[in-house]
Structure 1
């Protein structure tokens, strides 16, 4: 897709480091429609920022680029303020998003965006690449809805294409690729079936996982060949999946990072 066809191109570059023994947002570059509100320090020492898109949605043809760098010793938590509402464009162009994370040894980055909500006819292509030094920590999870379920839309988006890759010390430890192109066959049992909400995630840390969290029929976790902890889940109701995801996330954070629970107020 050429830049001329894109409706908007947003950029957000964040650089976290230590100042006076505490995590600080050292540099940030913001280009509308992407921006962040001021950082908030959590009691555990993590610095939290919310990514905001004041337009209220992602239009087909939009492009966004998010880059986050975390220095040694810093602890950063990146959230989004609201669900990503992906709307179609008149010519059927896809919205695109590229995220690049770099974390130094001893640093920690966590990225837990709100749910992606694809509207009827919308297309979304996104890539996320994380480069970790040995000894760096990473946590990320994403959730996807089958559409605007409460408005009677289910699996009516045109395409959802997502690729997530995590490398540590130059070695790939996690790769997840999802490409969904709904059709009448997509509604068959075994492909989404009765579920309208899906989740995936990965965590990389030095700790050992002795108790793998799981919610039968909703969520499962395990370890990749590269040593990362993965998560998969699906449920018919969003709150059910969110509750299971939150419980599993904290269990993995506690064991891999030795971190206390996140206490986030929205």
Structure 2
């Protein structure tokens, strides 16, 4: 299917670089429904942008294309303003999103989107590919709800697929693929149990990790053979998981990036 045949095609291309000793947004291309709020410089010097989708969510057949490039020395933080609400797809088409992250040597990019919330009958497929030069730094963390739990829609979405690949210096250092198609088997023990919120993240940096953040039964971290640090989380309650993720994220940032805690105002 070509982009022109899709219901909506959102495009967001961001290019960050250093000018006069500061990280700046050098170029941006925005096509509705994807857009950004004006960049803000955090106290630590990182430039932060919020990605905004002013519609009520993504529909079957929608496509989003996000491309972020960070030059050497620049520090960029990309957040989303709200959860990604994947609306039902009566025609059976999936909403899709392709993300490309490129970071030059000495640059740092962190991308922490809000939770993905799949409605009953929805389908969502996402791919994220990160291309890092040697000595580049990356942080990525995504969370997923099992549905609109409060509305009785636990595991009633049709499909959720996410594939994340990170390459550094031309070599793959991390690969994670998740494909969920709920059905009669999903309530069985060993699938999700009572957990309604999942998290998956990856960080690539230069520092060693001596203090591995973990919460028994909720949160685990480790490293790949390529040196990337991975995170997995699950919880029955979203706020509990979010708090644990925030602590783990800052612990890893401190060790891998030698970075101070993020001070984000929403």
Q: Tell me whether the two structures share a fold, i.e. TM-score over 0.5.
A: yes
What residue is the counterpart of 2:244 in the other structure?
244
Taking the TM superposition and a 5 Å limit, the aligned residue runs for 1:43-192 are 43-192=43-192
Q: For residue 101 of structure 1, report the CA deviation from its aligned partner.
A: 0.4
Q: Is the 8 A contact 1:88 1:120 kept in 2?
A: yes
Matched position secondary structure for 1:183 = coil
Give the distance between the partners of 2:184 and 2:24, measured in 1 at CA: 50
Distance 1:223 1:4 in 2: 41
* SS of the residue 1:260 aligns to: coil
Q: Structure 1: which 5+ residue stretches go unaligned?
A: none
1: distance between equivalents of 2:188 and 2:227? Answer: 34
Distance 1:129 1:39 in 2: 24
Partners of 1:61 and 1:14 in 2: CA distance: 24
Tell me how far apart the structure 1 counterparts of residues 173 and 87 of structure 2 sit (CA, whole Å). Answer: 33
1:206-217 matches, cutoff 5 A: 206-217=206-217
Deviations 1:171-227 (A, max 9, x none): 000000000000010111111110000000000000000010001111000001110
Once residues 4 and 43 of structure 2 are traced to their aligned partners in structure 1, the CA distance between those partners, rounded to angstroms, is 45
Secondary structure of 2:191's match?
coil
Q: CA deviation at 1:74?
A: 0.2
Aligned-partner Cα distance in 1 for 2:226–2:181: 29
TM-score (norm 1): 0.99
Structure 2: 5+ residue runs without aligned partners?
A: none
Superposition deviation, residue 88 in structure 1: 2.2
Q: SS state of the match for residue 189, structure 2? A: coil
Query: Shift in Å at residue 257 of structure 1?
Result: 0.1
Indicate how the Cα distance of structure 1 residues 57 and 251 shifts in structure 2: closer, same or farther if over 3 A, else same. Answer: same
How many corresponding residue pairs?
A: 266
The alpha-carbon deviation at position 4 of structure 1 amounts to 5.2
TM-score, normalised via structure 2 length: 0.99
Shift of 1:3: 3.5
2:83–2:114 contact (8 Å) kept in structure 1:
yes
How far apart, in 2, do the equivalents of 1:111 and 1:105 lie? 17
Counterparts of 1:131 and 1:164, CA distance in 2: 11
SS for the counterpart of 2:86 is strand
Give the stretch that moved more between structures: 77-86 or 4-13.
4-13
Q: After TM superposition, which residue ranges in structure 1, 4 or more long, deviate above 4 angstroms?
A: none
**Superposition CA RMSD, Å:** 0.8
